[in-house]
Amino acid sequence: MTAESPTRFRLGNHMVARTGYGAMQLTGPGVFGPPANRDEAIALLRTAIELGVDHIDTAQYYGPDVVNDLIRDALFPYPADLAIVSKVAVRRGTRGEILPYDEPAQLRAGIEDNLRSLRVDRLAAVNLRMPDDTALPDARFDDQLAAMIAARGDGLIEGVGLSNVSLAQLEHALTITDIVTVQNSYGLADRHSQDVLELTTERGISFAPYLPLGWPGEVRLRTLGNPVVHEIADRLTVAPAQVALAWLIGVAPNVLLIAGTASIEHLRENLAAADIELTADDRRALGELA
């Protein structure tokens, strides 16, 4: 296995490119139901691999059951170097609502569901997704971690990850077990996980920012509609989203982009963001936008 470089970082047992692919958008509206065009979704996944993507983020509850099936149908048998990361602790209701599914036995069932649908024996990592309204570790958190550790010990996952996690929860988890990846919301207009990012950087843990451009709405408007972003994009003749992603990948060496899209054109743009060179003044101006 090669050492870390500016273009690669360790994700558990894997050394992956710092730009991967988040598969959440390969569904219908609201991350619910099948895509409008299944053939286009299959083509996008195959194009991602052709372009060098070796890290895909997914979840059984995307759809539900939709995205993992698409990944399997598009890519199985998988490239030997592909790291697939999933997450557990929620499920989707019949109307698309997000419901907890986070008791220890449910976490194990969620991991096994991912393995069956993806047709793999082991995943590179699985993230334990924490609820939005919790920030402190408790006995229940310890029980959940124990279930994830047991799945790792049984060979179902290579590494334990955390998602939507607070600094206190991450610090507590690290007293119990190794954590190979953290997936929190983070971007130009959303720095609430700055303390978590700093700890992962210090500890050599990969940090995969989800919603790097924000959901469509206020946060995304503050990012893509910002005059500073547009000025830099115009000067470099790139898209505003590429500027935001280029800034993000340069924030810390352990950042792994998993920007999602249902468009092959946007996929190419997202991956190309890693090659955009921002000046020190650009980075300073963008860093002041939070």
178: left (phi over 0), alpha (psi -120 to 50) or beta: beta
- Identified catalytic residue from 61, 62, 101, 186: 62
The whole-angstrom separation of Cα 241 and Cα 219 is 13
Instruction: Measure the CA–CA gap between 207 and 198, rounded to whole angstroms.
Output: 10
The upper half-sphere exposure of residue 251, i.e. CA atoms within 13 Å in the direction of its Cβ, equals 28
Is 62 catalytic? The answer is yes
d(CA 44, CA 280): 34
Residue type, 123: L
Q: What residues have CB less than 8 Å from 46, skipping those under 6 apart?
A: 74, 75
Measured distance CA(197)–CA(182) in Å, rounded: 8
Could you give the residue numbers annotated as active site? 62
